[in-house]
Amino acid sequence: MSSAVLSELTANQAARRSRVLDAALQLASEGGYDAVQMRDVATRAHVALGTIYRYFRSKDELLAAALVEWAGTVERQVSARPPRGVSVADRLVDVLRRASGAMERDPNLTAAFVTGTGELAGVPSAGLASVPVRPSIFGFSTLRKPST
Protein backbone atom coordinates (compact mmCIF):
# COMPACT_ATOMS: atom_id res chain seq x y z
CA MET A 1 0.00 0.00 0.00
CA SER A 2 1.58 3.27 -1.09
CA SER A 3 1.95 6.23 1.23
CA ALA A 4 -0.60 8.11 -0.87
CA VAL A 5 -3.15 5.34 -0.30
CA LEU A 6 -2.25 5.15 3.39
CA SER A 7 -2.89 8.86 3.80
CA GLU A 8 -6.42 8.33 2.41
CA LEU A 9 -7.40 5.86 5.13
CA THR A 10 -9.96 7.01 7.66
CA ALA A 11 -8.95 6.97 11.31
CA ASN A 12 -10.88 3.72 11.84
CA GLN A 13 -9.29 2.07 8.79
CA ALA A 14 -5.81 3.13 9.91
CA ALA A 15 -6.52 1.73 13.38
CA ARG A 16 -7.67 -1.61 11.92
CA ARG A 17 -4.61 -1.80 9.67
CA SER A 18 -2.39 -1.05 12.65
CA ARG A 19 -4.05 -3.81 14.70
CA VAL A 20 -3.48 -6.24 11.84
CA LEU A 21 0.21 -5.30 11.67
CA ASP A 22 0.57 -5.61 15.45
CA ALA A 23 -1.11 -9.02 15.42
CA ALA A 24 1.19 -10.23 12.63
CA LEU A 25 4.23 -9.02 14.57
CA GLN A 26 3.06 -10.79 17.72
CA LEU A 27 2.39 -14.07 15.93
CA ALA A 28 5.71 -13.94 14.07
CA SER A 29 7.51 -13.22 17.32
CA GLU A 30 5.82 -16.17 19.01
CA GLY A 31 6.36 -18.76 16.30
CA GLY A 32 8.09 -17.42 13.21
CA TYR A 33 6.81 -17.37 9.65
CA ASP A 34 4.60 -20.45 9.91
CA ALA A 35 2.78 -19.02 12.94
CA VAL A 36 1.47 -16.10 10.88
CA GLN A 37 -1.77 -17.55 9.57
CA MET A 38 -4.19 -15.00 8.16
CA ARG A 39 -7.13 -16.38 10.16
CA ASP A 40 -5.09 -16.12 13.37
CA VAL A 41 -4.04 -12.58 12.48
CA ALA A 42 -7.70 -11.65 11.92
CA THR A 43 -8.74 -13.22 15.21
CA ARG A 44 -5.99 -11.51 17.18
CA ALA A 45 -6.61 -8.15 15.48
CA HIS A 46 -10.40 -8.44 16.01
CA VAL A 47 -11.12 -7.95 12.31
CA ALA A 48 -12.77 -10.02 9.60
CA LEU A 49 -10.46 -12.08 7.40
CA GLY A 50 -11.54 -9.99 4.40
CA THR A 51 -10.31 -6.86 6.16
CA ILE A 52 -6.75 -8.15 6.06
CA TYR A 53 -6.99 -8.78 2.32
CA ARG A 54 -8.28 -5.24 1.83
CA TYR A 55 -4.87 -3.97 2.95
CA PHE A 56 -2.52 -6.85 2.08
CA ARG A 57 -2.63 -9.23 -0.89
CA SER A 58 -0.77 -12.01 0.91
CA LYS A 59 0.91 -13.11 4.10
CA ASP A 60 4.27 -12.13 2.64
CA GLU A 61 3.03 -8.65 1.80
CA LEU A 62 1.66 -8.36 5.34
CA LEU A 63 5.02 -9.39 6.79
CA ALA A 64 6.84 -6.94 4.51
CA ALA A 65 4.60 -4.11 5.76
CA ALA A 66 5.14 -5.27 9.33
CA LEU A 67 8.90 -5.19 8.72
CA VAL A 68 8.65 -1.57 7.57
CA GLU A 69 6.72 -0.65 10.73
CA TRP A 70 9.11 -2.59 12.97
CA ALA A 71 12.16 -1.07 11.27
CA GLY A 72 10.75 2.41 11.84
CA THR A 73 10.33 1.65 15.52
CA VAL A 74 13.88 0.32 15.78
CA GLU A 75 15.22 3.33 13.90
CA ARG A 76 13.46 5.72 16.28
CA GLN A 77 14.87 3.82 19.25
CA VAL A 78 18.39 3.80 17.83
CA SER A 79 18.17 7.46 16.82
CA ALA A 80 16.96 8.51 20.27
CA ARG A 81 20.44 8.02 21.69
CA PRO A 82 23.41 9.53 19.85
CA PRO A 83 25.91 6.92 18.69
CA ARG A 84 29.12 6.58 20.64
CA GLY A 85 32.52 6.76 19.03
CA VAL A 86 35.09 9.22 17.79
CA SER A 87 35.14 8.26 14.12
CA VAL A 88 32.29 7.68 11.70
CA ALA A 89 33.30 4.01 11.64
CA ASP A 90 33.02 3.79 15.45
CA ARG A 91 29.60 5.43 15.36
CA LEU A 92 28.49 3.14 12.54
CA VAL A 93 29.50 0.08 14.53
CA ASP A 94 27.58 1.39 17.55
CA VAL A 95 24.42 1.97 15.49
CA LEU A 96 24.69 -1.43 13.80
CA ARG A 97 25.19 -3.20 17.13
CA ARG A 98 22.12 -1.56 18.60
CA ALA A 99 19.99 -2.17 15.49
CA SER A 100 21.06 -5.77 15.10
CA GLY A 101 20.50 -6.33 18.81
CA ALA A 102 16.77 -5.86 18.21
CA MET A 103 16.92 -8.62 15.61
CA GLU A 104 18.96 -10.91 17.84
CA ARG A 105 16.52 -10.50 20.73
CA ASP A 106 13.65 -11.79 18.59
CA PRO A 107 14.95 -14.56 16.31
CA ASN A 108 11.45 -15.85 15.42
CA LEU A 109 10.41 -12.42 14.18
CA THR A 110 13.67 -11.97 12.28
CA ALA A 111 13.29 -15.39 10.63
CA ALA A 112 9.70 -14.56 9.65
CA PHE A 113 10.86 -11.31 8.02
CA VAL A 114 13.65 -13.08 6.14
CA THR A 115 11.31 -15.79 4.88
CA GLY A 116 8.47 -13.41 4.00
CA THR A 117 10.61 -10.90 2.14
CA GLY A 118 12.46 -13.73 0.40
CA GLU A 119 9.18 -15.15 -0.82
CA LEU A 120 8.16 -11.73 -2.15
CA ALA A 121 11.49 -11.46 -3.96
CA GLY A 122 10.97 -14.87 -5.55
CA VAL A 123 13.55 -16.67 -3.42
CA PRO A 124 12.10 -19.96 -2.16
CA SER A 125 12.14 -20.19 1.62
CA ALA A 126 14.11 -23.43 1.48
CA GLY A 127 16.91 -21.49 -0.19
CA LEU A 128 16.90 -18.97 2.61
CA ALA A 129 17.54 -21.60 5.26
CA SER A 130 21.26 -21.47 4.55
CA VAL A 131 21.46 -17.68 4.33
CA PRO A 132 22.71 -16.06 7.53
CA VAL A 133 20.51 -13.24 8.81
CA ARG A 134 22.18 -9.89 8.29
CA PRO A 135 21.13 -6.84 10.27
CA SER A 136 19.34 -4.07 8.44
CA ILE A 137 20.99 -0.69 8.65
CA PHE A 138 19.10 1.84 10.71
CA GLY A 139 19.85 5.33 11.89
CA PHE A 140 22.52 6.44 9.44
CA SER A 141 21.40 10.03 9.92
CA THR A 142 22.64 9.76 13.50
CA LEU A 143 26.21 9.06 12.40
CA ARG A 144 27.14 12.70 12.02
CA LYS A 145 29.69 13.86 14.50
CA PRO A 146 27.85 15.36 17.49
CA SER A 147 28.00 19.15 17.44
CA THR A 148 29.79 20.67 20.38
Q: pTM (2 decimals)?
A: 0.71
Residue 141 pLDDT level (bands cut at 50, 70, 90):
very low
Class level of CATH domain 3-143: mainly alpha
- Supply the mean pLDDT for the chain: 80
CA distance 103 to 63: 15
CA distance 61 to 113: 10
Average pLDDT on 93-121 reads 81
Query: What pLDDT, on the 0 to 100 scale, is given for residue 120?
Result: 65
59: helix, coil or strand? helix
From residue 40, give the alpha-carbon distance in Å to each of 28, 36, 82, 130: 11, 7, 39, 28
Candidates 74, 56, 57, 64; CA nearest to 119 is: 64
DSSP states of 18-39: HHHHHHHHHHHHHH-GGG--HH
CA distance 21 to 62: 7
Domain extent listing, the chain: 3-143
Query: What pLDDT, on the 0 to 100 scale, is given for residue 75?
Result: 85
Q: What is the pLDDT of residues 114-139, one digit of tens each?
A: 887 776 666 555 444 443 443 444 44
Query: What pLDDT, on the 0 to 100 scale, is given for residue 114?
Result: 80
Q: What is the pLDDT of residues 44-91, one digit of tens each?
A: 999 999 999 999 999 989 998 998 888 888 888 888 888 899 999 999
